[in-house]
Amino acid sequence: MLTLKQIVENQQVIIDRLAVKKFDAKKIIGNLLGKDKQRRANQQTLENKQAEINTISKEIGKLIGEGKTGEADEIKAKTSQLKEEIKLLHQEVAVAEKEIQEML
């Protein structure tokens, strides 16, 4: 079985080798690489949002320590929204990974 890494690194070679066996893999590999690109983009967005939550959490702690609970509460609302976005991105990444595995 081919791995995603092999396909990414040797796309044309694999297409050519499968063509020898009368199998047109160009469309399938194109779909696979497109899905992988989408998964990677979602994963990067997910990691960025998690980093943003970490930064905001530190800021909330600092504000509470300074007695600025009103400002801290406003920022907490933003973290709730980010957590929902992260949850959706986790689901999208999981679905993409499952589809990639099925394609492989």
d(CA 88, CA 42): 10
Structural domain total, the chain: 1
Reduced to 3 states (helix: H, G, I; strand: E, B; else coil), residue 66 is coil
104 residues of the chain, pLDDT tens digit each: 788 899 889 889 988 988 888 888 899 899 999 999 999 999 999 999 999 999 988 888 888 888 888 888 888 888 888 999 999 999 999 999 999 888 88
Which CATH number characterizes residue 63's domain? 1.10.287
Domain range for 53? 4-103
Give the pLDDT score at 42.
94
Q: Which two tokens stand for residue 8?
A: 């990414």
Q: What's the pTM?
A: 0.76
The angle subtended at Cα 41 by Cα 52 and Cα 99, nearest 5°, is 125
| Residue 80 one-letter amino acid | S
Nearest to 103 by CA among 47, 35, 38: 35
Reduced to 3 states (helix: H, G, I; strand: E, B; else coil), residue 1 is coil
